[in-house]
Structure 1
Amino acid sequence: MKVTAVGGGTGLSSLLKALKILVKEGIIKDLNAVVTVADSGGSTGRLRKDYNIPAPGDIRNCIVALAESEELLKELFQYRFTDGELKGHAFGNLFLTALTQITGNFLDAVRYSCQILKTAGEILPSTIENVHLVAKFDNGQVIKGEDKIPEYAKKSGKKIVEIWLEPREVKAPIDTVEALLGADYIIVGPGSFYTSIIPNFLIEDIKQAYKQSKAKKIFIVNAMTQPGETDGFSAFDHVQKFVEITSLPYPDIALVNTRMPYYRLLKRYLKEGQEPVVPDVAKFARHNIKVIAEDLIGDDDNFIKHSPQKVAQILKNLFMEKNEK
C-alpha cells in the first residue's frame, strides 16, 4: 500500500502520526508527505529572509511527526531558543538551514534530516524554490505572506477572492511528482485551508500529478472553522471551495467529524472566532463522494484536533476494505 499525504502545518503533522501507526502495523508499505514551503512567519520567516531558502518550519514538524529516533533527538529538533540573537528560532529550522548551506540543496537537507531522525516515510517539499503566498481580497487589497493573509482577513472581515504563489511559475521536485503518481491513496487535509493545503495545489506539477494519479483521493475536513480563512464553512463547503480553487475533480472519499468538542474547550475557541464545522453529510452524496462521518477528534484538554488513533483506525478499515475486493 502506497500512501501520499498533502498539506502542511499542525494538520499534516497530526495525520502523519496516524499514518505512522499504519506503517508500524505493516499496512502502509510506502509513505510520503508532500509539504508546503510557503510559510513566512516566525523563525521560518527570518531564515527565509536571511538565507533565501524554502520554508523549513512545516518540514521540520513533519519530520518529527514521522521520526522513529530517540525522544531526546525529537525534542532537540523542536527546541526553541528563548534568549539572545537566536530567540524564537527552532533548532530544527537552523539544522535544516545549515544542511542546505552544506549540501547546496534544500531537498538533500530534508532527505538527510529524515535519515538522521529515522522517519517512517519520506518528507517531500512541494517545491525547492523560495515561494511566497499572495492573496487578493474582495476589497481589492493584496496581501503577501502566509502569516499576514489570515491576520488581515481576521482584522478586516474581508474574504479571499484570489490566491497565488510568487513566483507563479514554479516546479515541483521529480520525487514529489512521482509520489503522487505512484500512490494508491492520496490524502488531503486536515490543515489551514488557504495557507497549508491550497499552496501545494498552486504548483501546476502537483495539480497535474494529483489529477493524473489513479490513486483514490481522500479529503479530511477540518473539525473547526478558521478565522479569516473558512469562517462559516460547513464540511462540504471545504471540499467545494477546494474544487473551485484548484479546478480538480471531487475527492472519492471525505472524512468528517461529527463530535461536538467539550464545552469548556469549545468556549475558548468560540472567543477566538472558531466554530465547529457543521457535518452536512447529505451534500456529499450528490457528487458521488463516499462520506465517513464519525467522532474524529481527540480528548486533549487544550486543543481541538483530530485524534491520530481514531483517524488511523478509519483509514485502516478503508485500506483493508480495498484489499478484500
Structure 2
Amino acid sequence: TENIAAIVTVADDGGGSGMLRQDLGMPPPGDIRNCMEALANTEPLMSQLMRYRFSEGSLAGQSFGNLFLAALNGISPSFDAAVSRMSEVLAITGRVLPVTTADVRLEAEFENGASVVGESKIFYCKKREDCRIRQVRLIPEHPKALADALTALRRADMIVLGPGSLYTSIIPNLLVDGIVETIQASKALKIYVANVMTQEGETEGYTVSDHIAAVFHHSAPGLVDLCLCNSSPIPKGVAARYAEEGAEALRGDTEACAALGVEVVSRPIATVEDGYVRHHPIHLARELILLHAERSVRIAGNYISDKYQVEKRGKL
C-alpha cells in the first residue's frame, strides 16, 4: 500500500551516520535510509549498491546509501526534501519522514544519577553504571516536529510504535514537540509492537510492562491501546547465545500491562535469521492488518448502533 508513512528518529550519532553528521552538519541518514530500503521497489543491483559499505580508506564502514542521501542533502533546500528526492529515486511505496529536522542529541540519565550525552554512548555508559535508565531527553528539548509527520499521524487509521530499541529508536520520537499530542488526539488504533528479546545496553531484565511504562513515562499514560508480542518459541541454542550477552526473550506480564491500561495480544511473529531473532516482516504485517480489521469492525459496529439510536430518537 502507498498509504504507509514511516516516521523516524534523527538522534543517532554513531557509526557512518555520526561521521556524516559531524563532517557535514546534516541529520543522521542511517535509520531513514534503512526505512527507504525496506519500502523500495528497485532492481537487486540497486538494492545491493545502496547497502554497500566501504571496507578501506577514509570511507571504511560508510555505506553508499548514506553518501547518496548526503549528496542529495547538499543539492536540496532541506533535509526532508532530500529524503523525498531519494524516495523518488528508489521508487518507494509510501513515505519516509524524519520526525524533525532539528539538530538534536540524546541524553540518558541513569537511576544512580549518572548521565551521558550521545546516543552511541548510552550502551557503554549503561554497562559501566550497571543500573537502569531512568529517562532520556533531547538536547535541545522539545524540537519542532516536521509538519508532514504530524499530518501523517492525523490521517492514520493505525499508528504503530516499534519494534526497535526502546530508548534510542522509539522514545526519541515521542520527545519531539507535537508528536504525543497528535497521537493522543487521533482516533486511530494505536499499537505498540514489543521487541522479541531484551537488548543489551538498554533493557536487560525488562518485561513487556517495563517497556510500556517507559513509553508512557516519556509521553502520556494510555498512549497505546494494544501491545503486540511474540509467541513463537526461541530455539534453545539461540537463546543460550543471547543469554551470554545478558539478553533474554521478553516476558509478557499480561496483568501488569492490564494495570497500565494496555491489552496484550500474543502472536507468532518472530523468526531466526543468521542466528539472530528478528520479527518476520510478513507475519508481523499480517497480524497488524488482522488486528486493525478486527478492531475496526468492532468500532464500526458501535458507531452504527449509536447512529441507529440517534435516528430512532429523532423519529420519535
Q: Residue 200 of structure 1 corresponds to which residue in structure 2?
A: 173
Q: CA deviation at 1:259?
A: 2.7
Matched residue type, 1:220: V
Matched residue type, 1:79: Y
Identity %: 39
Task: Give distance in 2, aligned partners of 1:250 and 1:48.
Answer: 32
Q: Residue 235 of structure 2 corresponds to which residue in structure 1?
A: 262
Equivalent residue for 2:84, pick from 111, 115, 128: 111
- Cα pair 1:260 1:276 within 8 Å, conserved: no
> Matches of residues 1-325 of structure 1 in structure 2 within 5 Å?
23=1, 29-322=2-295, 324=297, 325=300
- Cα pair 1:150 1:228 within 8 Å, conserved: yes
Question: Is the deviation greater in 236-245 or in 269-278?
Answer: 236-245
Q: CA deviation at 1:250?
A: 4.1
The alignment's TM-score, normalised by the length of structure 1, stands at 0.87
Q: CA deviation at 1:141?
A: 2.2
Q: 1:157 to 1:258 in 2, by over 3 A?
A: same
The alignment's C-alpha RMSD in Å is: 1.5
- Cα pair 1:236 1:283 within 8 Å, conserved: yes
Task: Give distance in 1, aligned partners of 2:259 and 2:246.
Answer: 30
Task: Give distance in 1, aligned partners of 2:221 and 2:97.
Answer: 21
Matched residue type, 2:54: F
1:35-81 per-position Cα deviation (integer Å, ceiling 9, x unaligned) = 00111111111100011111100001000011111121111111100
Task: Give distance in 2, aligned partners of 1:166 and 1:107.
Answer: 20
Matched residue type, 2:162: G
Question: Is the deviation greater in 144-153 or in 254-263?
Answer: 254-263
- Greater relative CO, 1 or 2 (CA 8 Å, sep 6+): 1
Matched residue type, 2:72: L
Gaps of 5+ in 1: 1-22, 24-28
Task: Give distance in 2, aligned partners of 1:104 and 1:248.
Answer: 38
Q: CA deviation at 1:287?
A: 4.4
Q: CA deviation at 1:322?
A: 4.2
Matched residue type, 1:114: S
SS at match of 1:305: strand
Matched residue type, 1:181: R
SS at match of 2:119: coil
Matched residue type, 1:310: H
Q: CA deviation at 1:116?
A: 0.7
Q: CA deviation at 1:193?
A: 0.3
The alignment's TM-score, normalised by the length of structure 2, stands at 0.90
Q: CA deviation at 1:245?
A: 2.0
Q: CA deviation at 1:164?
A: 0.8
Q: 1:140 to 1:319 in 2, by over 3 A?
A: closer
Q: CA deviation at 1:159?
A: 2.2
1:12-34 per-position Cα deviation (integer Å, ceiling 9, x unaligned) = xxxxxxxxxxx2xxxxx510010
Task: Give distance in 2, aligned partners of 1:250 and 1:84.
Answer: 46
Matched residue type, 1:316: I
Gaps of 5+ in 2: 301-316
Task: Give distance in 1, aligned partners of 2:145 and 2:124.
Answer: 28
Task: Give distance in 1, aligned partners of 2:54 and 2:108.
Answer: 32
Q: CA deviation at 1:93?
A: 0.7
